């Protein structure tokens, strides 16, 4: 999912700050755009929880932050698997980093209508009704099962990313007129070689 805010960047680190342990350089994946069939195909369950998956998770966080998103699903980087990362703090709080392997919504409550965007559909947004609260059951990067509850933006991000793993894009939650308008504009952009 794309970030809501367009302004207020964190100020650059000052010289007086304690030097941090440098992490290995991360692979920044290009984001697959709408029109690629991988985005509309359900992903395969994650079965192998190894060092490679841990690398993938960290590279996905880095790719998501680079694209200023709050969620990124594996199909969006060309990997058809049930794997996603979410961080609604945009990297500001390490505790905000959530890895979801084989996630499922087990409980949903309330409704919130809010504007939503997607890193795979850049430049387009639309109002989508999502639950206000959700409970998600998933496995972490080590394969350990856990349950997490999300509210508002976090609930929205969970639903948006889990949709991706089922081959569903936010466009499918829009009204027909709005959806067709966005599709037409993307078609035009593609013809012009701008998509």
Is 118 a binding residue for Zn ion by CB under 5 A? The answer is yes
The answer to whether the CB of 49 falls within 8 A of the CB of 141 is yes
Q: Indicate the residue among 53 and 119 with the shorter CB distance to Zn ion.
A: 119
Catalytic residue status for 161: yes
The answer to whether the CB of 111 falls within 8 A of the CB of 127 is no
Strand partners, 137: 104, 147
Nearest C-alpha neighbor of 60 from the set 36, 40, 39, 30: 30
Q: Indicate the residue among 118 and 155 with the shorter CB distance to Zn ion.
A: 118
The single residue of 17, 52, 109, 161 carrying the catalytic annotation is 161
Between CA 160 and CA 119 the distance in angstroms is 11
The answer to whether the CB of 99 falls within 8 A of the CB of 146 is no
Which segment (12-20, 116-124, 136-144, 182-190) binds Zn ion by CB under 5 A? 116-124
Q: Indicate the residue among 85 and 118 with the shorter CB distance to Zn ion.
A: 118
Interacting residues of 129 by C-beta distance below 8 A, sequence separation 6+:
111, 112, 113, 173
Q: Indicate the residue among 118 and 165 with the shorter CB distance to Zn ion.
A: 118
| Total residues in contact with Zn ion, by rule CB under 5 A | 1
Which segment (11-19, 44-52, 97-105, 111-119) binds Zn ion by CB under 5 A? 111-119
Burial of 155 (0-12, 13-18, 19+ CB in 10 A): buried
Which segment (5-13, 55-63, 115-123, 182-190) binds Zn ion by CB under 5 A? 115-123
**Which residue's CB comes closest to Zn ion?**
118
> Which positions touch Zn ion (CB under 5 A)?
118
Catalytic (active-site) positions = 161
């Amino acid at each position: 999912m794309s970030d809501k805010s367009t302004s207020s960047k964190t100020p650059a680190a000052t010289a007086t700050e304690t030097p941090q342990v440098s992490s290995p350089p991360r692979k920044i994946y290009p984001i697959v755009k709408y029109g690629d069939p991988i985005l509309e195909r359900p992903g395969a369950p994650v079965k192998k929880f190894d060092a490679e998956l841990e690398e993938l998770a960290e590279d996905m966080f880095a790719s998501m932050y680079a694209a200023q998103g709050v969620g990124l699903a594996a199909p969006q980087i060309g990997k058809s698997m049930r794997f996603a990362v979410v961080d609604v703090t945009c990297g500001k709080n390490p505790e905000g980093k959530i890895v979801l392997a084989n996630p499922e919504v087990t409980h949903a409550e309330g409704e919130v209508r809010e504007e939503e965007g997607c890193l795979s559909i850049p430049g387009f947004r639309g109002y989508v009704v999502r639950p206000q609260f959700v409970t998600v059951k998933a496995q972490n990067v080590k394969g350990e099962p856990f349950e997490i509850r999300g509210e508002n933006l976090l609930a929205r991000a969970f639903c948006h990313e889990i949709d991706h793993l089922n081959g569903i894009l936010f466009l499918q939650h829009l009204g027909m007129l709005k959806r067709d308008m966005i599709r037409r504009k993307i078609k035009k952009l593609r013809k012009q070689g701008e998509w």
